[in-house]
Homo-oligomer: A and B are copies of this chain.
Amino acid sequence: MRWSQTLIPTMKEVPSDAEIPSHQLMLRAGLIRQLMAGAYTYLPLGWRAVRKAEAIVRDEMERAGAVELFMPAIQPIELFERTGRKDAFGNVLIQFEVKRGDRSVHLALGPTHEEVITDLVAHQISSYRQLPLTMFQIQTKFRNEERPRFGVLRTSEFIMKDAYSFGTSLEQLDESYQKMYHAYCRIFARCGLEYLPVEAESGPIGGDASHEFMIPADNGEDRIVRCTGCGYAANQERAATGRGAVAAMSVDGSGELIKVDTPDVTSIEQVSKMLGCDARRMIKTLIYQADGKPVAVLVRGDQDANEGKVRRALNVETLELADEATIREVTGAPIGFAGPVGIKCPIIADHDVAQISDAITGANAADAHYTCVNLGRDYQLETTHDLRDATGGDPCPKCDGTLELVHGIEVGHVFKLGTKYSDSLGATFLDEKEKRHSIIMGCYGIGVNRIVAGLCETQHDENGLIWPLSIAPYEVLIIPLNIQDDEVMSIANRFYDELKAAGVDVLIDDRKARPGFKFKDADLIGIPYRLVVGGKGLQEGLVEIKSRTAESPDKVPLVDAIGHLTRLMDEEKAKLAARVPA
């Protein structure tokens, strides 16, 4: 491609509204332009990168035995009502009505396609002989993003590869899941990403039946906890801690239990301010309905309860914050004054709670708190649990190392769905004995444009992007130093033609511009290799070949240039390939 015949609007200045490197660089390098909040056009350079990522994703999906199909973006709202996701998605689900003759039809834009594909399978698959089957598509997904930001990382439409597996047994599910997990590792490695598979909150099947694939990045919105010792990694929500149940179920507090007036002071922050105490000395008491029965969950004042952990600790299916009536019933007070002392429901507490002496809690009375609450004396626990998010400094649950907290960008997710969707949409199969069962499903997503944004976020220097060869919009950039010099252009064009003929993706900067300007743009758009033709070098029969990350260029005789470039590229390809699991 000739620079003059495409659209690569590079920018010198850092756009003021771009907060993070990927957003800044994708704008500056002319990969994207904003149409409106949360909606970006991929310009030719950005789109080439996305298409290369897409091709790798497709290739690995097919290698793993998945077959491609393509479902409508527009879906009937009824399907979401049947699976309960209309409510679960809430404002994120984009819905609208269209007129069809006299009728009004209520539709949604697919945020993913569990409903549509399960409905399809419910109609097309009936026998165990047709299973297992994994199908995928690569498609624009729609989710209303309340607060779009971070460039293409958080937008209301994005390109997703979504795959769905269907099987007759947990064994088939395991096998499909493992194939997808393995394919994901290969995909991200081939894309040149540093990636980290982490355990994630799992569905009803339990176990470590869900993994997220993260790109560690300082500006990532996801929080990951990982152990540098044993390699254990999980998202913060899911991560266990190595903290154990507290042995002695009492604490030595010296203070006397005193009820203090705290009129209208209901939040941890307000109480802490009023009483001048550290939130770490407070016990937060949350009243939940667990499978319909009230339970008080205690965590330290500066911490939050992790509902997944609470649910697992209580071994219940449903868990939701109690309504005001229930809170009044068990505490005898309005919302904001709950505490463990004298509460009329079971109590479950995080490990850290049992370490607080002379704690401050609600008094289960309106406008009142207790100071100097002590375990063993003022309230009782039989044991303690891991009920809060893990964080940096916590002991590792798998070894004697310490967990660290890192940020990441989620690029993929594999999930054992079980029968949630097949149950609600009637996707069943007949087994060898003509007995009917629900089909067991898994789902597997990759944010295709996040692969590109993730690379931009993590692979750059002060001068611009540094693309891996596999995703680079072009592999080689030819820079003729003076386009008005016929000899320079004739040689540059010959290289261009030869590289194209050899199947190399090559861009030639045929703009009438100073060499310094072209070099700056070359670094900014980050093409892996640049080939400079002209100047003093050419008089000596040499061209300059430089990889984006090399300190200085190699000066190579004209006749060796293509061979030299090909060797460098082959080496780089081999390096990338070596990182891909077999």
A interface residues (Cβ-Cβ under 8 A, vs B)? 1, 4-7, 9, 33, 35-37, 39-44, 47-48, 50-51, 65, 67-76, 91, 94-96, 98-101, 105, 109, 116, 119-120, 123-125, 129-130, 133, 135, 139-140, 142, 144-148, 156-157, 512
* 10 closest residue pairs by CB, A with B: A96-B96, A39-B72, A42-B70, A98-B144, A44-B67, A6-B67, A41-B71, A9-B124, A36-B76, A47-B70
CB of B70 within 8 A of CB of A41, answer yes
CB of A120 within 8 A of CB of B6, answer no
A35 CA / B120 CA spacing, docked (Å): 8
* Given A69-B41, A69-B47, also A98-B33 (CB < 8 A): no
CB of B9 within 8 A of CB of A100, answer no
CB of A50 within 8 A of CB of B70, answer yes
Using Cβ atoms and an 8 Å threshold, which residues of chain B touch A7?
A: 67, 69, 124-125, 130, 133, 135
CB of B67 within 8 A of CB of A156, answer no
Q: List 15 A-B contacts (CB under 8 A).
A: A1-B67, A4-B130, A5-B65, A7-B130, A9-B124, A35-B75, A35-B76, A35-B120, A41-B71, A43-B69, A44-B68, A50-B70, A74-B142, A99-B144, A100-B144
A420 to chain B, nearest CB (A): 20
Give which listed residue, B33, B95, B105, contacts A124 with CB less than 8 A.
Answer: B33
A129 CA / B124 CA spacing, docked (Å): 56
CB of B67 within 8 A of CB of A5, answer yes
CB of B69 within 8 A of CB of A44, answer yes
Using Cβ atoms and an 8 Å threshold, which residues of chain B touch A71?
A: 35, 41-42
A202 CA / B75 CA spacing, docked (Å): 36
Using Cβ atoms and an 8 Å threshold, which residues of chain B touch A94?
A: 96, 98
Q: Told that A7-B124, A35-B120 touch, could you supply 18 new A-B pairs with CB distance under 8 A?
A: A33-B123, A35-B72, A35-B75, A36-B76, A40-B72, A41-B69, A42-B69, A44-B67, A44-B69, A44-B135, A47-B70, A50-B70, A73-B142, A73-B157, A74-B142, A99-B144, A100-B146, A109-B109
A109 CA / B72 CA spacing, docked (Å): 14
A161 to chain B, nearest CB (A): 14
Closest Cβ neighbor of A449 among chain B residues: B70
* Given A5-B133, A96-B94, A98-B94, also A156-B69 (CB < 8 A): no
A103 CA / B120 CA spacing, docked (Å): 37
CB of B35 within 8 A of CB of A156, answer no
CB of B68 within 8 A of CB of A47, answer yes
A206 CA / B135 CA spacing, docked (Å): 49
Copies per complex of this chain: 2
Using Cβ atoms and an 8 Å threshold, which residues of chain B touch A139?
A: 140
A111 to chain B, nearest CB (A): 13
A485 CA / B269 CA spacing, docked (Å): 76
A74 CA / B7 CA spacing, docked (Å): 22
A51 CA / B124 CA spacing, docked (Å): 23
**Residue of A5, A42, A69, A76 most packed against chain B (CB within 10 A):** A69
CB of B69 within 8 A of CB of A146, answer no
Using Cβ atoms and an 8 Å threshold, which residues of chain B touch A39?
A: 72, 74-75
A128 CA / B72 CA spacing, docked (Å): 41
Closest Cβ neighbor of A99 among chain B residues: B91
A5 CA / B72 CA spacing, docked (Å): 23
A256 to chain B, nearest CB (A): 48
A538 CA / B145 CA spacing, docked (Å): 62
CB of A101 within 8 A of CB of B146, answer yes
Using Cβ atoms and an 8 Å threshold, which residues of chain B touch A68?
A: 44, 47-48, 51
A18 to chain B, nearest CB (A): 16
* Given A74-B157, A98-B144, also A120-B69 (CB < 8 A): no
A156 CA / B96 CA spacing, docked (Å): 14
Give which listed residue, B101, B116, B124, B145, contacts A35 with CB less than 8 A.
Answer: B116
A220 to chain B, nearest CB (A): 23
Closest Cβ neighbor of A147 among chain B residues: B101
Closest Cβ neighbor of A92 among chain B residues: B98
Closest Cβ neighbor of A97 among chain B residues: B96
Closest Cβ neighbor of A90 among chain B residues: B99
Using Cβ atoms and an 8 Å threshold, which residues of chain B touch A73?
A: 73, 140, 142, 157
Using Cβ atoms and an 8 Å threshold, which residues of chain B touch A99?
A: 91, 144, 146
Using Cβ atoms and an 8 Å threshold, which residues of chain B touch A1?
A: 67
CB of B33 within 8 A of CB of A72, answer no
CB of A37 within 8 A of CB of B100, answer yes
CB of B72 within 8 A of CB of A41, answer yes
CB of A119 within 8 A of CB of B69, answer no
Using Cβ atoms and an 8 Å threshold, which residues of chain B touch A96?
A: 94-96
Using Cβ atoms and an 8 Å threshold, which residues of chain B touch A4?
A: 129-130
A427 to chain B, nearest CB (A): 13
**Residue of A51, A76, A125, A156 most packed against chain B (CB within 10 A):** A156
Using Cβ atoms and an 8 Å threshold, which residues of chain B touch A512?
A: 129
Closest Cβ neighbor of A144 among chain B residues: B98
A324 to chain B, nearest CB (A): 26
A4 CA / B36 CA spacing, docked (Å): 46
Using Cβ atoms and an 8 Å threshold, which residues of chain B touch A42?
A: 69-71
Using Cβ atoms and an 8 Å threshold, which residues of chain B touch A48?
A: 68
* Given A5-B65, A35-B76, A119-B35, also A100-B147 (CB < 8 A): yes
Using Cβ atoms and an 8 Å threshold, which residues of chain B touch A148?
A: 100
A529 CA / B50 CA spacing, docked (Å): 35
A229 to chain B, nearest CB (A): 42
